[in-house]
């Protein structure tokens, strides 16, 4: 816990706010009165996990480490190519 006077707090207000945001508790004293400043945890935001299944629709995508892609055909389409018996 850090204790400062009101004058010090006024001069270093933004530095004190940074310290409070980092978890420090600050006590500001003025004419015998004490004010305690501490961080209060806010509501926790949970971001939903993105669903990538809609982006990649390839049969056997769970075995993707066993095949590669090649440009083939008259329109040069991207085609999944399974490797021969070599690895």
**What does the pLDDT look like over 15-70, one tens digit per residue?**
999 999 999 999 999 999 999 999 988 888 888 887 776 776 666 666 667 767 77
Given this model, what pLDDT does residue 81 score? Answer: 76
Confidence tier at 86 by pLDDT (50, 70, 90)? low
- For the chain, how many structural domains are there in total? 1
Residue 85 backbone dihedrals phi, psi, to 5 degrees: -55, -10
Given this model, what pLDDT does residue 27 score? Answer: 96
Q: What pTM, to 2 d.p., does this model score?
A: 0.47
Residue 20 in any domain: the answer is yes
Residue 42 in any domain: the answer is no
Which CATH number fits the domain that encloses residue 33? 3.40.1620.10
Residue 24 in any domain: the answer is yes
Residue 23 in any domain: the answer is yes
What is the C-alpha to C-alpha distance for residues 87 and 74, in angstroms, rounded to an integer?
29
**Residue 28 is inside which H or E element, if any?**
strand 26-30
Look up the domain containing 21 and give its range. 2-37
Contact present, 4 and 28 (Cβ < 8 Å): yes
Residue 9 in any domain: the answer is yes
Q: How many CB atoms lie within 10 A of CB 52?
A: 7
Given this model, what pLDDT does residue 33 score? Answer: 94
Provide the token pair at 14: 């933004």
Residue 87 in any domain: the answer is no
Over 70: is that where the pLDDT of 87 sits?
Answer: no
Given this model, what pLDDT does residue 12 score? Answer: 94
- Which residues, 6 or more positions from 35, have their beta carbon under 8 angstroms from its beta carbon? 27, 28, 29
């Amino acid at each position: 816990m850090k204790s400062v006077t009101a004058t010090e707090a006024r001069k270093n207000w933004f530095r004190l706010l940074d310290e409070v945001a980092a978890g420090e508790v600050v006590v500001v004293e003025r004419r015998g009165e004490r004010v305690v400043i501490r961080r209060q945890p806010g509501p926790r935001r949970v971001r939903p996990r993105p669903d990538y299944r809609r982006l990649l629709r390839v049969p056997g995508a769970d075995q993707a480490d066993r095949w590669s892609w090649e440009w083939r055909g008259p329109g040069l389409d991207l085609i999944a190519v399974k490797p021969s018996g070599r690895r």
